[in-house]
Amino acid sequence: MARTPLMAGNWKMNLTHVEAVGLVQKLAWTLSDKKHDSGRCEVVVLPPFTDIRSVQTLIEGDRLELGFGAQDLSPHDKGAYTGDVSAEMLAKLNCRYVTVGHSERRTYHAEDDALVNAKTKQALAHRITPIVCVGEGLDVRQAGNQVEYTLAQVRAALDGLSAEQAASVVIAYEPVWAIGTGEVATPADAQEVCGAIRGLLAEAFGADVADRVRILYGGSVKSNNVAQIMDQPDVDGCLVGGASLQIDEFSAIARFY
Ligand code: PEP
């Protein structure tokens, strides 16, 4: 099955809603040239919560060929969870995606595998596609345990999902040592783990599910390394942090198709 490539821009905690509107307008304008075939690659932005309503209004109002989503969600439906944002709130804003278990959430907010699993299920229950982030730290990589470590995270994140639910998840392999460091994994490194993730999906949910799930690579993706990464058979797109804030860079990455 041909999987539609996905290029998702994780803005992290950057851009006010005014700046967000400016960036989305420029991005849409840059991508509207003939070099980008929107039918071949899905391009998505993941702004901070406070920007989502403005981004939604612009994208839907101007019928821009961009998707959008959020960077996190609460595992709870509603209630006394000060500062949290629920899946229902995101769904009402037509968020198509939400990142779950990003390494910055795991590190700075002590998110563990059980919480990542609960958030994944919560997103799916509201028809939002979770982009489940997994990946090893430098110590694990240096010990050569990156495959088993990352597969354990995938297993835990998808625990209890039906095959149909698993098929609609996106997984982002993001080695922690490559995030925001400028140190990109080699294409072979990316393929080794992404291929192993697909193997695990086949084992757990069947070959058809494994064939449908999109697996992204994330970690210092730039316009000058995206081609080699995307050349790998089990890499279906990229989760892009820093470079997604630079119009020229992100549009070149998205335009790669
Ligand atoms: C990310 O935030 O998920 C990421 C991969 O960041 P960067 O591209 O800056 O390494």
Q: Judge whether 180 is annotated as a binding position.
A: yes
User: What is the reported pLDDT for 180?
Assistant: 85
User: What phi, psi does 214 have (nearest 5°)?
Assistant: -90, 130
Q: Judge whether 101 is annotated as a binding position.
A: no
User: Nearest-CA neighbor of 192 among 226, 240, 145?
Assistant: 145
Each residue's pLDDT, cut to its tens digit, for the chain (257 residues) gives 689 999 999 999 999 999 999 999 999 999 887 565 656 789 999 999 999 999 999 999 999 999 999 999 999 999 999 999 999 999 999 999 999 999 999 999 999 999 999 999 999 999 999 999 999 999 999 999 999 999 999 999 999 999 999 999 999 999 999 998 888 889 999 999 999 999 999 999 999 999 999 999 999 999 999 999 999 999 999 999 999 999 999 999 988 76
**Which CATH fold topology does 6-255 show?**
TIM Barrel (3.20.20)
User: What is the reported pLDDT for 34?
Assistant: 55
Q: Is 249 a catalytic residue?
A: no
Q: Judge whether 10 is annotated as a binding position.
A: yes
The interaxial angle of helices 113-125 and 146-157, nearest 10 deg, is: 50
Alpha-carbon distances of 176 from 49, 58, 155, 220, rounded to whole Å? 23, 33, 18, 10
User: What is the reported pLDDT for 20?
Assistant: 98
Instruction: Please state the atom number of ligand 1 nearest to the C-alpha of residue 99.
Output: 3
Ligand 1 pocket member 174 (CB < 6 A): yes
> How crowded is residue 231: how many other Cβ atoms within 10 Å of its Cβ?
11
Q: Judge whether 242 is annotated as a binding position.
A: yes
Burial class (CB in 10 A: 0-12, 13-18, 19+), 155: middle
**Rounded to whole angstroms, how far apart are CA atoms 134 and 153?**
6
Ligand 1 pocket member 219 (CB < 6 A): yes
Q: Is 126 a catalytic residue?
A: no
How remote is the CA of residue 37 from the centroid of ligand 1, in Å? 24
Ligand 1 pocket member 172 (CB < 6 A): no
How remote is the CA of residue 42 from the centroid of ligand 1, in Å? 18
User: What is the reported pLDDT for 40?
Assistant: 78
What does the pLDDT look like over 92-146, one tens digit per residue?
Answer: 999 999 999 999 999 999 999 999 999 999 999 999 999 999 999 999 999 999 9
The pTM score is 0.96
How remote is the CA of residue 111 from the centroid of ligand 1, in Å? 18
